[in-house]
Amino acid sequence: MPDKRHGAGFELRKLLDRLSANPFIPNALPSRHLSYAFAAALAFIGLLTFVVLPARDVTVVADGASELVKSREVSDAALMRQAGVELNPGDIVVRKENRDGEPMLVVQRATPVVVESSGQLVYWRSRAKTIAGALAEIGVSLNEGDKVLVNGILCSPRDLLVALPARMVSDALTLARVPEVAMPTNDRPLAITVKRAVPFTVREDGHLLEFRSTQPTLALALKENGISLGEGDIVSPELETPLTAGLVTDVEHASKIDVIVADVGQDVYTHEKTVGKALETAGIILTALDKVLPDREQPIVDGMSIYVTRVTVGSYVERESIAFETVFKSDANLDFGETRRVAGQEGTLVREYEVTFENGQEAGRTLLQESVEAEAVDAIVYYGTDSALGSDTIPDGLNVIKVMHVYATWYNPRSAGGNITSTGVPVTKGIVAVDPTVIPYGTRMYIPGYGFGVAADCGGGVKGNMIDLGYANDDYVDWRSRYVDIYIVG
């Protein structure tokens, strides 16, 4: 079948050439005569084409633009040349009709692609729809973890293979880090870089994990695969180690604990297994008295809180005054109502304690010993006696705790209009009516010239420093009302 791209004239020329060159064909025409015949045939065919094949309108669509071409050409290549459309290797021309039924030629461009994979560069024009399809055309398969970059941008293999507009292509080869490759100078290729993932192993806290990564360093590969590193974590080899196939790395995560020492908290990251060891490696020195909660032998748990109470022991000496007593003694050399005082002296009681402090605050104390550093010396009040009443007026050895100067009267049931006192006891000698706000009920006293008495009654006329001495109805009243010093006894 004749090649329509070259036309009938071309076919005729080939036929004439074969005839002139064949020695077995009789009456073969000389070459000069054949040239005349060929020129005449071409002129005839051109005239025939002009008459038989009239010019027609064909729409050519290419690179987003369309152009109407009026031509008698029948081949796609001739029509493309007439429309000024250059076809590249891999491009195809699809014949269609527009809405009016007129012929239309649509140019479907192949995408120029340069691929860098495993150290090799390949350039071609692809008809694939996706990036994965384009790679498959040249036999490049992707493994788990491999990454594909198009013009330096990370893409999915399932992404469409779309040629970039000229305004978006700065330098595809530079982006892909491929400096030179043999290709037509008028192409603007997509630079596809295949980064091969390498396998490596991580022992994370004793658990074996297998990963693949395209990252250049161990640090980036761990991050990419979800291995989070925190403060205090130990990684071997170092994080900046280049990632190579078969690399084995150990990751030991530190436990974060909250340590509160004497009410001051701090975060501690540790690889120790017990509370005591964790505190020791953190530089927290414990004494035998310090309290640790939980116990020092308790295992470390991530996120736990440890409380350290600082315990110290000291001594404390306390001195307490010992009050002296006041003793009353009679002195025959003193007149009645006259007193002489000898000053007393306070003593000193010493207590020694062992004091326990927790975080600087006293938590308890224990009495170690108690002793009298100085004895108290009693004060002595000497008083004179009433010689007119006899030497037995004030008994010797009387435990006098107070002397009061009062006005003393007397009464009996008959004068009082009743036999029962305000405290419920009968009126008899020894019952003394007092002002209870001055001398409380129950107070024992010695009244010279009357004897011993007890405050057990009160009266409307007994106010302040005044007393009323009781007698029974049949008692002999030997008292005359007067001021007198009375002695309050213990």
Residue 159: predicted pLDDT: 92
Based on the fold, state whether residues 207 and 261 are members of the same structural domain. no
Based on the fold, state whether residues 276 and 343 are members of the same structural domain. no
pLDDT tens sequence across 331-360 = 778 876 577 889 989 999 999 999 999 999
Work out the angle at residue 59's Cα, subtended by the Cα atoms of residues 53 and 65, and round it to the nearest 5 degrees: 155
In a domain, 415, yes or no: yes
332, 351, 380: which is the final residue of a domain? Answer: 380
pLDDT tens sequence across 409-420 = 999 999 888 899
Q: Cis peptide before 237, with omega less than 30 degrees from 0? A: yes
What CATH number did the domain enclosing 427 receive?
Answer: 2.40.40.10
Q: Which domain holds residue 45?
A: 8-52
In a domain, 229, yes or no: yes
Q: Cis peptide before 294, with omega less than 30 degrees from 0? A: yes
Spatial distance between the Cα atoms of 113 and 187, rounded to a whole number of angstroms? 9
Based on the fold, state whether residues 346 and 403 are members of the same structural domain. no
Q: In terms of Cα–Cα distance, which of 56, 62, 55, 64 is closest to 93?
A: 62
In a domain, 78, yes or no: yes
In a domain, 309, yes or no: no
Q: Assess whether pLDDT exceeds 50 at residue 402.
A: yes
When divided into structural domains, the chain yields a total of 7
Q: Which residue has the higher pLDDT, 58 or 298?
A: 298
Spatial distance between the Cα atoms of 208 and 250, rounded to a whole number of angstroms? 9
Q: Assess whether pLDDT exceeds 60 at residue 255.
A: yes
Based on the fold, state whether residues 476 and 392 are members of the same structural domain. yes
Based on the fold, state whether residues 227 and 265 are members of the same structural domain. no
**Residue written as tokens 């049931």?**
413
What CATH number did the domain enclosing 191 receive?
Answer: 3.10.20.90
In a domain, 2, yes or no: no
Average pLDDT over residues 373-379: 90
What CATH number did the domain enclosing 363 receive?
Answer: 2.20.230.10
In a domain, 357, yes or no: yes
Based on the fold, state whether residues 401 and 477 are members of the same structural domain. yes
Based on the fold, state whether residues 121 and 179 are members of the same structural domain. yes
Residue 337: predicted pLDDT: 59
Based on the fold, state whether residues 485 and 397 are members of the same structural domain. yes
Residue 32: predicted pLDDT: 53
* DSSP secondary structure letters along 11-80: HHHHHHHHHHH-TTSTTPPPHHHHHHHHHHHHHHHHHHHHHHS--EEEEEEETTEEEEEEE---SHHHHH
Exposure class string for 277-301: b at 16+ Cβ within 10 A, else e:
ebbeebebebeeebebeeebeeebe
Spatial distance between the Cα atoms of 86 and 223, rounded to a whole number of angstroms? 49
Q: Assess whether pLDDT exceeds 60 at residue 393.
A: no
CA 26 to chain centre: 107
Residue 52: predicted pLDDT: 52
In a domain, 167, yes or no: yes
Based on the fold, state whether residues 162 and 96 are members of the same structural domain. no
Q: Directed axis angle between helix 8-21 and helix 31-52, to 10°?
A: 160
The chain-wide mean pLDDT, for the chain, equals 82
Residue 390: predicted pLDDT: 41
Based on the fold, state whether residues 177 and 211 are members of the same structural domain. no
Based on the fold, state whether residues 391 and 484 are members of the same structural domain. yes
In a domain, 3, yes or no: no
64, 87, 108: which is the final residue of a domain? Answer: 108
Q: Assess whether pLDDT exceeds 70 at residue 319.
A: yes
Based on the fold, state whether residues 209 and 231 are members of the same structural domain. yes
The alpha helices in 202-345, defined as continuous H runs, are: 218-224, 275-281
Residue 189: predicted pLDDT: 82
Average pLDDT over residues 54-71: 83
